[in-house]
Chain A
Amino acid sequence: MVNITIDGKQMTVEEGKTILEVAKANGIYIPTLCYHPKLRPIGSCRLCLVAIEGREKPVTACNTPVAEGMVVRTSTPEILEMRKGIINMILSMHPEDCLTCEKAGNCELQECAYNLGVKKGTLPLEAQELPVLKENPFIVRDYNKCIACGRCIRACKEVQCQRVLDLVGKGSEARAGATVGDQEITLEEAGCVFCGNCVQVCPVGALLEKDSLGKGRQWEAKKVRTVCTFCGVGCNLEVNVKDDHIVRVRGYENPLVNDGWLCVKGRFGNDFVESPERIKRPLIRVGEKGEGKFKEVSWEEALDYTAKRLQEVKDKYGKQSIAAFSSARCTNEENYLMQKFMRAVIGNNNIDHCART
C-alpha cells in the first residue's frame, strides 16, 4: 500500500494502481477519451493530464502508477486550459452534427465538452471530408468522427487478437483504418471477424452498428440483461429495446463469462427473432406431408386437436408408441416440463434431444 494525496485528499491505496484508477475509485473526475478500463492505457489523448508536486511537467493519469508520498492535483488552472485546448482542437475537426448523431447522449466527446464547458471548436483547421464506409452488413465506419483515440485498435489487437485496424493518416485525416500500403481495404479483406467489440469501445459515433441506425438513441432504449443462444458459452447480452423492438445488442459487463465482449452472431444476429417468417398463429396442415401447406387456427382448436390425436394414438397403439424431442435451445424450465409431460402424461421415457451435437 502507498500513501498519496489527490486534490488535498489523503488516501492509502494499493500499489500498482494508476492515478486515474485511484481517482475514479474515490469519486474524483478526470476526463478521458483514449482510456478504456479493459484496454492497455496509452496516454495518447492527454486529457487526463494531472500535476504532480515536484515534477516540472504534468503527467497522464491513465498510465502513471501511484507512488509513496505522491501529491497530485487534477485540475489546476493550467491543466484545465490544456484540456479545453485539446477538446477545442478535436471539435474543430469534428462534424457538428450532434443533433442527428446516433451517439448523442452516450458520446464521451460530448461528455468531455460538457464537463469542460467547451461549446464548439474555434480553431481554423480544415477538416478533410473522409469516407463513411458501409461495405459490410454489420459495422458502419464514419471516419469524419474518428478522434484517433486507438481504442478500437487495441480492442482488435488485445481482446480479439485480430489486428485488423491500425492508425493511419495525419492531422484531420488521422483515423483507425484497415489499409494495405496506403490503400483502404474492406474489413473482410483485412481479416475482420465482425465481433463488433471495436464498436462497443468506440467513445464517439465513428463506429456504429449498421442495423441500429435511426432506431433510437441510447437514452430511449430500455436495457435488459439476458443470455445469448448462439452457442454453449452463455455470453451475457444487454439488449436495448424501444417500442417492443430490438434497437441494438451490446455485451453485458459480467467478468465471469464474456466480460462484456461478444461475437458477430450474438451482437448482430438476434434480428432473427423479428423475422417476418415467424409463425404467428397455430397451424394445421392442409397439404401433403413435407409440402409445407397449412391453415391458421386458434390456440383452442390447435390444442384440442393435438390432445385428441395424441390420446387416440396412445389408446390405439399403447403408451410406448409416442416419442418426443425436447430442445437444447429452450430453457431449463421448458425442458423439465417436456420430460415431465412425456413421463407423467404420456407415461413413457421416450424423451431425448440433440444432447450429443
Chain B
Amino acid sequence: MTNSIKEIEHNDVLLIIGSNTTEAHPNIGQKMKQAARRGAKLIVVDPRKIELVDYAYLWLPITPGTNVALINALMYVIITEGLTDKEFIETRTEGYDELWSVVKNYAPEMVQELTGVPAEKIYEAARTYATTDRAGIFYTLGITEHTSGTNNVMNLANLAMITGHVGKEYSGVNPLRGQNNVQGACDMGALPNVLPGYQSIADAEVRERFASAWNCEIDEKFGLRIPEMIDFAAGGYIKAMYIMGEDPALTDPNINHVRKALANLDFLVVQELFISETAKFADVILPGASFLEKDGTFTNTERRVQRVRQVLTPRGESKPDWQIICELATKMGYPMSYNSPAEIMDEIADLTPIYRGIRYNRLEGDGLQWPCPTIDHPGTKYLHAGQFPRGKGLLQGIEYQPPAELTDEEYPILLTTGRMLYHYGVTTRRSASLESFRPEEFAEVNPEQATALGVKTGDKVKVVSRRGELITKVRVTKRVKPGMMFMTYHYKESPVNILTNAAFDPITKTAEYKVTAVRLEPVNK
C-alpha cells in the first residue's frame, strides 16, 4: 500500500476494484464499511455482488478480464470533462500525450458492452473519484491474476496520477497483500531477480556487496520464477527442489501439470506443518514450527514490520524454519549460525537500505513502516511524497487485450476463483471450528444456469474446463451474473486449480486464475 490502513478512516472516496475485502481482508473490509457508515462513497468494481456492494455508492459489475478497458474509460471521462489534476501531471509525470492517444478510443459508450458496465455508471464513478480530494484505490488479485495483470496495475497508477491521487496522505494506490508475509518475502529478496530490498541482481556493485558480506559468489544470471521452475521440472532441467511452506500441488494453476512436474524430480525436500498435497511428492519432509512457536517478524500490507513472538513450544520435534535452513546450510559446507532471529535482522538491516533502521529493540511497540533508512528514522506512513522512485511518474497508454481464454459454445461459462471468509490457504482446514462450519465447496452459480441444468442449492454438478474436471456442490445465487460462476481454491476434494489456466502475465508470470472457460454437466445424485 502507498498509504496506511489507518488512513482509510479519513478517505472520502474508496475505489475498490477486484477485491472482495470483507472476506479476504476482513479487518480492512470492516474499516471500509465503517467509512461508508460515516458517509464516504464506496465505488465497488467487481463481477460479483459481494458484501461491499451493500455498502456501495456505486457498483460496477465488470466482466472478468476487462479491467484495462474500464479504467481507460474512467480516464476518458476525467480527461474529456477537464477533471484532471493539471499541476500534478505537469510537475510529477511524463507521457501524458501518449496516454491520451490510447485512452481517447475508450469512450464509456464504446466499452459498456465489453465490460458489462453501463456507460452512465462509468461517468458517475469517474466524476466521483476525480473530484474528491481524499480518494484511494484499493485492489487485490482481481486486478493481478490476469494475463493483463501488470497492465491493470499500471493503468490504475495512470488513473491515480492524472487525478493527483497519489503521493499524499489519504490518496494512493493500495494493493492489499493476500498472505500474511508476502510483502516481507518480497522485501527479503525471495525473488529470482532481486536481492533483499529490491536490489537488482543485474547490478554488479550490489552483487559484489552481498558476495563480500556472505563470503560467496553471487550468480549474475536471473533465476527462474515459479511457473518456469514447474515447467523446467516437468521438462527434466530442474532436478531437485526445496519447498518451504507452500503447496503448489493445490494452489498453483493447472495442478495436473504441477503434479507431473513434482513427480519428475530426482529429489524433493518439503518443509511443512502438515503432509500437504505437495509434501506427498517429497523424498524428505522436514517438520517446521508454526508462527506461534517461534520469534521473528512479518511485514504487513502497509509495509509495517511487526514482531512475531513465541507463544508455544514447537509441537513434536518440529523446529523453526530459520534453524532448519541454518543446519542444512552448515551440513552442506556453508556454516550458518545465528543465536536468534534478532541477529538475522541485524544482518538484513546491514545489507538492506529500506530496512536499515529496523532493529528488534525498536519493534516492541507498534512496529515500523519501511522505508526506514536510519536507526532513528520513524518509518514511512505513505509513499511517493514529492517524487516517485524513478523521478517522474510514467504515464503509459495501455490497450485492452482479451483474456487468454474466452468462453465459446463448448465452454460457455466463465469461472472466476477466489477466497471465502472462513478459509485461508490450507491451514484452516485443520481448524476444528472453521472446518466444521464450512467443510466443503459450494460453487456459486446463477439461477439461469441452475434452471438450465435442473439443479438447486446443495446439488452436485460436474465442472469441466479444457484442462480437467471436478465435481462440486452448488449454491444457486444472484451474487454471480448469468454466464458466470465462482469457486474457492480451499478444498482439495474439489481442487479448482485442476480447471484453471496456467496462462501467465508476461512480466510477473502471475496466472490467470480469474478467467477460465468451463461448462457444467449434471451428475447422478
Contacts and interface: CB of A to CB of B under 8 A. Distances in A.
Nearest to B237: A321
Nearest to A241: B311
Contacts of B283: 284-285, 309
A237 to B, nearest CB: 9
Given A233-B27, A292-B280, A303-B327, A357 B210 contact: no
Contacts of B181: 229, 232, 327-332, 335
Interface string A232-257: 11111001010011100000001111
Contacts of B296: 330-334
B425 A329 contact: yes
Interface in B179-212: 179-193, 195-196, 201, 210
Contacts of B290: 272-273, 278
A159 interface: yes
Interface residues of A, number: 115
Interface string B325-361: 1111101111010000100110110000000000000
Given A306-B286, A322-B242, A234 B306 contact: yes
A330 B292 contact: no
Interface residues of B, number: 155
B138 interface: no
Given A137-B433, A246-B292, A290-B263, A328 B284 contact: no
A161 B25 contact: no
Contacts of B279: 292
Contacts of B37: 158, 161
Given A272-B431, A341-B328, A351-B223, A234 B301 contact: yes
Contacts of A35: none
Interface string A118-157: 0000000000000000001110000000000000000000
A325 B321 CA distance: 13
Identify the interface centre among A195, A231, A285, A352: most chain B CB within 10 Å of its CB.
A231
Given A292-B280, A309-B267, A338 B216 contact: no
Interface string A250-284: 00001111100111110011111111011111111
B246 interface: yes
Interface string A13-40: 0000000000000000000000000000
Contact of B284 (A302, A336, A342): A302
B246 A323 contact: no
Contacts of B36: 161
A230 B292 CA distance: 13
Interface stretch (A81-89, A109-117, A310-318): A310-318
A226 B292 contact: yes
Given A289-B262, A357-B145, A327 B311 contact: no
Contacts of A319: 219
Contacts of A11: none
Given A339-B189, A353-B185, A355-B185, A290 B246 contact: no
A321 B218 contact: no
| B185, B244, B281, B509 interface centre (most CB from chain A within 10 Å) | B185
B115 interface: no
A98 interface: no
Nearest to B29: A263
Contacts of B266: 309, 313
Contact of B201 (A229, A306, A349): A349
B232 interface: yes
A357 B433 contact: no
A278 B315 contact: yes
Contacts of A47: none
A270 B347 CA distance: 31
B388 interface: no
A261 B301 CA distance: 17
Contact of B243 (A281, A317, A320, A324): A324
B421 interface: yes
A282 B275 CA distance: 11
A219 interface: no
A213 interface: no
Interface in B211-266: 214-219, 221-226, 229, 232-233, 237-246, 248, 251, 259, 262-263, 266
Interface string B360-390: 0000001000000000000000000000000
Nearest to A157: B37
Given A277-B274, A285-B283, A329-B179, A257 B304 contact: yes
A166 interface: no
Interface string B406-421: 0000000000000001
Contact of B313 (A244, A340, A353, A356): A244
B318 A278 contact: yes
Interface in B431-478: 431-434, 436-437
B272 interface: yes
Determine which residue in A234, A280, A289 has the highest number of CB atoms from chain B within 10 A of its CB, and name it. Answer: A234
A342 B259 CA distance: 23
B329 to A, nearest CB: 5
B219 A332 contact: no
Contacts of B318: 278-280
Contacts of A227: 180, 291, 298, 300, 306-308
B320 interface: yes
Nearest to B312: A244
Contact of B312 (A245, A337, A340, A355): A245
A108 B341 CA distance: 40
A224 interface: yes
Nearest to B282: A285
B244 A233 contact: no
A231 B177 CA distance: 7
B430 interface: yes
Contacts of A235: 27
B348 A333 contact: yes
Interface in A178-235: 193-195, 210-211, 224-235
Contact of A232 (B177, B282, B425): B177
A355 B508 CA distance: 9
A340 B214 CA distance: 8
Interface centre among A137, A285, A351 (most CB of B within 10 A): A351
A334 B27 contact: no
A212 to B, nearest CB: 11
Contacts of A292: 275, 279-280
A262 B27 contact: yes
A279 B287 contact: yes
Nearest to B316: A280
B328 A331 contact: no
A1 to B, nearest CB: 25
B309 A231 contact: no
A337 B325 contact: yes
A323 B251 contact: no
B345 A332 contact: yes
A153 B523 CA distance: 45
Contacts of B313: 244
A276 to B, nearest CB: 9
A344 to B, nearest CB: 4
Contact of B219 (A245, A275, A324, A343): A343
A294 B283 CA distance: 9
Contacts of A333: 296-297, 322, 341, 344-345, 348
B305 interface: yes
30 contacts: A138-B437, A161-B36, A194-B437, A226-B311, A227-B291, A231-B178, A256-B304, A257-B27, A257-B300, A265-B26, A265-B422, A268-B431, A269-B431, A275-B431, A279-B275, A280-B318, A303-B327, A306-B331, A320-B221, A322-B240, A323-B229, A329-B291, A331-B294, A334-B322, A338-B321, A339-B189, A340-B214, A342-B223, A343-B219, A344-B214
Given A233-B176, A329-B180, 4 more contacts: A279-B287, A307-B328, A325-B242, A344-B329
